A = this chain, B = another copy of it.
Amino acid sequence: MYGPAMTDTDDLLPIGLEDRLPAEARKATHAMRAALGAMDSHGYDRVRPPLIEFERSLAGRMDGVQTRRLFRFVDPESLRTLALRSDMTPQVGRIASTGLADAPRPLRLCYAGDVATITADQLDPARQRLQLGAELIGADTVAAASEIVMLAVEAVEATGARGISVDFTLPDLVDVLAADAFALAEDRIDAVRRELDTKDAGGLVAAGGEAYLPLIHAAGSLGDALAKLRELDGGGTLATRIEALETIADRIGARARVTLDPTERHGFEYQSWFGFTIYADGARGALGRGGTYWIKGSDEAATGFSLYLDALLPALEGREPAATVFLPLGHDPSVAARLREEAWRTVAALEESDDPRALGCSHRLDGSEPVAL
């Protein structure tokens, strides 16, 4: 609306922290409410955990929270180390296993709020993000995964994003095959996982994971990738997983393109049998991730997803404010109130010199009716 969308942050704001000026703020607020609306319509109740917790509580409730990435400080009240949340998922897990421990299961919760990390990714300097998501607590079945993937797609659709795609993964695939089909020694599993992460065929063979070789080229559209998995899976060890992925994809139907990268693990370290990443046309990288997991501490099964609004915003069109009518000095306040009830925006003159156009008005009140400028 006025000048660049972000302020010049060189001196004013620490690196990775930005203001959202009106046009960006309007987009962010609209997208957040639309996504939360989709989650609410599927029965997900919003909870609002605090910005700050004990560091141990944030870090202890889920694997993958790196304490060195947290903004930390000693609390003069408790003399314990507090931290600013870097992820709301463990907070929702804490709520489910404490304040809502007695609520019936499956428990559907959603959340939205700012999270911050002291160091940013090299690819993305942002140190604060607007995270939102949903958690289905007490269930990690195929039905739960289907609901959560569909909900993630609907939440992204509700923001106005198009060209949605979902990439599935099977986080425990290496372990399952090692135990059941490939008879890989337990002390070799980590090495095999690492070589699969880098898709290094030579390294994989050297690590004793020759049987896993076909997985290096198994990523692609769901149909193709599942065909390759079936081929690999002579003993039927993966049959239930393959069927599960087909069920989840059927539910999505034509609403999103579905791919499978069976050995992808990045960001899924804490997940159990199923994970997914969601994308949309025009977005900056992945919008978010989800999957099945165990809540640490309570050992309760759960399925959920998180979206990062900052990645999504570039994919969304700008939103104009409502038509705005300028109210000259001496206008009738009851007319102005009526217009606001009819969803007009009003901007009242404070001085004779106020300029309706400069103040963003499209209309001017003339007697009891708005007249286009």
Contact = CB atoms under 8 A, between A and B. Distances in A.
Interface of A: 1-4, 6-8, 12-22, 24-26, 28-29, 33, 40-43, 45-54, 57, 71-73, 75-78, 80, 82, 84, 91, 94-95, 98-100, 102-104, 106, 108-109, 113-114, 116, 118-119, 127-128, 136, 139, 141, 143-144, 147, 321-322, 324, 340, 344-348, 350-351, 354-355, 358-360
Nearest to A339: B41
Contacts of A350: 106, 136, 139, 141, 143-144, 147
Given A21-B99, A99-B4, A106-B350, A128 B345 contact: no
A22 B139 CA distance: 20
Contacts of A54: 13-14
Given A14-B78, A21-B99, A77-B14, A51 B108 contact: no
Contact of A25 (B26, B28, B41, B47): B47
Q: Across chains A and B, which 6 residue pairs bring their CB atoms closest together, nearest first? A: A7-B99, A22-B45, A43-B347, A20-B48, A104-B358, A2-B103
Given A43-B345, A45-B1, A100-B2, A77 B119 contact: yes
Given A6-B99, A41-B340, A48 B25 contact: yes
A108 B346 CA distance: 11
Given A45-B321, A99-B19, A139-B350, A76 B119 contact: yes
Select the residue from A51, A91, A141 with max chain B CB neighbours within 10 A: A51
Nearest to A6: B99
A98 B18 contact: no
A327 to B, nearest CB: 9
Given A80-B14, A345-B40, A143 B19 contact: no
Contacts of A3: 99-100, 102-103
A22 B147 CA distance: 21
Q: Is the interface of A mostly helix, strand, loop or mixed?
A: loop
A371 to B, nearest CB: 17
Nearest to A4: B99
A96 to B, nearest CB: 11
Contacts of A8: 98-99
A49 to B, nearest CB: 5
A40 B344 CA distance: 10
A12 B98 contact: yes
A13 B53 contact: yes
21 contacts: A2-B103, A13-B50, A14-B53, A14-B75, A14-B82, A17-B50, A17-B53, A19-B99, A20-B49, A21-B99, A22-B45, A24-B48, A25-B48, A26-B46, A29-B48, A40-B345, A43-B345, A50-B128, A52-B71, A77-B119, A139-B351
B19 A48 contact: yes
